[in-house]
Amino acid sequence: SNTKKTVDERLFEICELLEKHVEYYNWVGFYFRNGQKEELKLGPYVGEPTDHTIIPFGKGICGQVALSNQNFVVPDVSAQDNYIACSITVNAEIVVPIFVNGQNIGQIDIDSNTPDPFTAEDERLLEFVCEKVSSIL
Ligand code: SME
C-alpha cells in the first residue's frame, strides 16, 4: 500500500507538533498564495476553525506579510488597526514568510492567547521551520 505522506499531511503534523510543544502557541496554520491571485488561501492548521480561509494581499497581519516579505510579530493584537480577528481569545500573533526560490509563496501564522509571548527565539524557530517547509513543497 502507499503509505507516503502528502505535503498537506506533513504540514498538518508540523502544526500539531508546534501547538503541542509550545504552550503559548494556540492556533498554528499555514497560508499559501492562491495560484496567481493576489490573495492567501488557508492550508493545514490546528486550532479553532476560522472564517478567514481567503485573505487578500495587504489585509490583516497575514496579508501585510504577503507584501512585506518580513516577519511580523504582534505583541498585542488590539493595538493593530489592520488586523483580522479570528477569535476573541487571541492576544498576540506571529507570521513568518515561506520563500521558494526567493519568492514569498506563503507563511506560517501563529495566534497566542498569552499577551506578548513571542521572542527572537520564536522567530528563529519558525524561520527554521519555514526553510524546512520550503524544501518539501
Ligand atoms: N489574524 C490574522 C488572520 C488569520 S487568523 O489569525 C487565523 C490576520 O490579521 O491576518
Q: pLDDT over 70 for what percent of the chain?
A: 99
Q: What is the DSSP letter of 71?
A: -
* Domains assigned to the chain: 7-136 (3.30.450.40)
- The answer, yes or no, to whether any atom of ligand 1 lies below 6 A from the CB of 86, is yes
Residue 102 has a pLDDT of 96
Q: Say how far apart CA 84 and CA 115 lie, in whole Å.
A: 17
Cell of 30: 499555514
- The answer, yes or no, to whether any atom of ligand 1 lies below 6 A from the CB of 111, is yes
Residue with cell 524561520: 127
- In which band, very low, low, confident or very high, does the pLDDT at 3 lie, cut at 50, 70 and 90? confident
- The answer, yes or no, to whether any atom of ligand 1 lies below 6 A from the CB of 83, is yes
Residue 75 has a pLDDT of 98
Alpha-carbon torsion, ordered 131, 33, 67, 87, to 10 deg: -90
Residue 2 has a pLDDT of 67
Given a cut of 70, whether residue 108 has pLDDT beyond it is yes
- The answer, yes or no, to whether any atom of ligand 1 lies below 6 A from the CB of 60, is yes
Q: How far is CA 58 from CA 12, 36, 38, 48, 121, in A?
A: 26, 15, 9, 23, 26
- Mean pLDDT of the region 95-112: 98
Alpha helices in 1-137 (DSSP H): 7-21, 60-68, 120-136
Q: What is the DSSP letter of 78?
A: G
> How far is the centre of ligand 1, averaged over its atoms, from the C-alpha of 86 (Å)?
6
- In which band, very low, low, confident or very high, does the pLDDT at 1 lie, cut at 50, 70 and 90? low
Which atom of ligand 1 is the closest one to the Cα of 82?
9
Q: How far is CA 40 from CA 10, 16, 24, 47, 96, in A?
A: 20, 21, 25, 18, 14
Tens digits of residue pLDDT in 55-89? 999 999 999 999 999 999 999 999 999 999 989 99
Residue 4 has a pLDDT of 83
> How far is the centre of ligand 1, averaged over its atoms, from the C-alpha of 17 (Å)?
20
- The answer, yes or no, to whether any atom of ligand 1 lies below 6 A from the CB of 19, is no
- Mean pLDDT of the region 7-33: 98
The Cα diameter of the chain in Å comes to 52
- The answer, yes or no, to whether any atom of ligand 1 lies below 6 A from the CB of 109, is yes
